[in-house]
Structure 1
Amino acid sequence: MDHLRYCGLSFEKQRAVFLDIVSADPLIAETLSRVRALGLPDWLVVSGALYNSVWNHLTGKPSGYGIRDVDLFYFDESDLSYEAEDTVIRRAAKQFEGLTLPVEVRNQARVHLWFEARFRGSYPRLSSSAEALSYFASKTHAVGVRFGTDGQLALVAPFGLDDIFSFRVTPNRALDNRQTHEMKGARARENWPEISVVPW
């Protein structure tokens, strides 16, 4: 049960542990360094690469285990065209050449334009990258980090961190995302059998 040693602690204590773990992970550290150099507006490295790295650390698995890619959000309302986003994606691809994992870049100002066609459900127009975390299928996955103006790593976690440190995947019913919650929960259990999945 040592992997649960941080569950139930205060948010401030969990926040410090979380940031220590992700900043020490070589994959995350290198990604964050390269993202910073891109200079994207309102950017966040989010989700799987972060909480998976915490689970790897707490269960003694190597860096990068179970992680498919790194998700990078940014928010730019100045041009909502596909072409503008694609230009950023291409620029980012050059920046991330040589990383061990692919980096998926998405402008959160555009999600409402394509979400319904892809997932058959409506999606609100967002006002920031951080707001997107509130609509993730599982509360556990709603985490993001970026460098603040002080140069320190800052955390965005609208539902806190206790689900991550409790190895618990908890549904977020803000949207009808049951299928995504169940699919990601099942996949997580394959890699980290310590995980429990809360039913939708």
Structure 2
Amino acid sequence: MLKTEEDIIRAVEQDKWMIKLLQAAKSLNLPDWWICAGFVRSKIWDTIHDFSERTAIPDVDVIYFDKENMDEFEEKKLEEILRRIVPHVPWSVKNEVRMHVVNGLDPYINSVDAISKFPETATALGLRLNQKNNVVLTAPHGVEDVLNLHLRPTPFFMENPNLVQIFENRIAKKNWKGIWPKIKVRHINREDKEKWHEGE
């Protein structure tokens, strides 16, 4: 049973596939790098749901923060390197120094700041290996929501009315509840009131 950040880290440490991908990302020597979002969340929800097989994820998101080289082409080169190290993985590499422009937001301070502004608290998670190859977890909004199977907007999205619809569109498009039936989705209506949809 996963109940704490330490439990999550232990589960990752025991997952040879995740460690292999973390080692591949670390080998790039990128500044302020993390593998984030669904890579982390899906592992947690699969474990809580007692799935015997890993849920496929559309991409493995590697982010970093490099002010010296903001060329998007560099990200594509890094993806190609990762595909050579670990083939058949949907690698996606993004330099968060430039991603605020793509997302129409103010500049991010660092990679964790960018993660904190992801749409959902359960997705605002990142993993990396430190110098001793220990697994490090970042969770700017804590792990309570992801562990309790709660899907809700991050404070940044809650505070920006224009972003609420992005959250709702993601919930509809991703069909997470169809994959992990125990999750509870918190929808936000125009009056900014909260309501729970727990399913059957």
Normalising by structure 1, what TM-score? 0.82
Please state if 1:185 is matched with 2:171: yes
Q: Does 1:34 align with 2:20?
A: no
Cα shift readout 1:127-160 (whole Å, capped 9, x = no counterpart): 2111111111111111101112333111110110
SS at match of 2:122: helix
Give the letter for the 1:149 counterpart: Q
> Which moves more between the two structures, 124-133 or 58-67?
58-67
Residues 82, 67 of structure 1: alpha-carbon distance in 2 compared, 3 angstrom cutoff: closer
What's the offset of the Cα at 1:64? Answer: 2.7
Q: Which amino acid aligns with 1:165?
A: L
1:27 and 1:64 in contact (8 A); partners too? no
**Conserved? CA contact 1:140–1:169, under 8 Å:** yes
Taking the aligned partners of 1:66 and 1:104, their CA distance within structure 2 comes to: 15
Q: Structure 1 pair 177/21, CA: closer, same or farther in 2 (3 Å)? A: farther
* Structure 2, unaligned runs of 5 or more: 189-200
Q: CA-to-partner distance for each residue in 1:24-63, whole Å, 9 max, x for gaps?
A: 2233122112112222221101011111111111212134
Counterpart residue identity of residue 86, structure 1: K
Does residue 1:96 correspond to 2:86, yes or no? yes
User: Which residue pairs with 1:136 in the alignment?
Assistant: 118
Quick one: distance in 2 between partners of 1:157 and 1:173?
Answer: 13
Native 8 Å contact 2:62 2:93 kept in 1: yes
Inter-partner Cα distance in structure 1 for 2:85 and 2:31: 16
In the other structure, the counterpart of 1:11 is none
Match of 1:111 in 2: 99
Partner of 2:145: 163
Q: Secondary structure at the residue paired with 1:139?
A: coil
- Counterpart of 1:174? 156
Cα offset, 1:6, TM superposition: 4.5
Which letter maps to 2:151? V
TM-score, length basis structure 2 = 0.82
Per the alignment, in what secondary structure is the counterpart of residue 167 of structure 2?
helix
Unaligned runs of 5+ in 1: 8-13, 116-121
In the other structure, the counterpart of 1:118 is none
Q: What is the aligned partner in structure 1 of residue 107 from structure 2?
A: 125
C-alpha separation between the residues in 1 aligned to 2:58 and 2:14? 19
2:131 is aligned with 1:149: yes
Residue in 1 that maps onto 2:195: none
Cα separation, 2, equivalents of 1:84 and 1:34? 17
Q: Which has the higher helix share?
A: 1
Which 4+ stretches in 1 moved above 3 angstroms? 183-186
- Cα deviation for residue 66 of structure 1 reads 4.2
What do the CA deviations read for 1:155-181 (whole angstroms, capped 9, x no partner)?
110110011110110112414432332
Distance in 2 (alpha carbons) for counterparts of 1:147 and 1:20: 13
- Per the alignment, in what secondary structure is the counterpart of residue 77 of structure 1? coil
Counterpart position of 1:196 = 184
Counterparts of 2:62 and 2:177, CA distance in 1: 24
Distance 2:12 2:163 in 1: 27
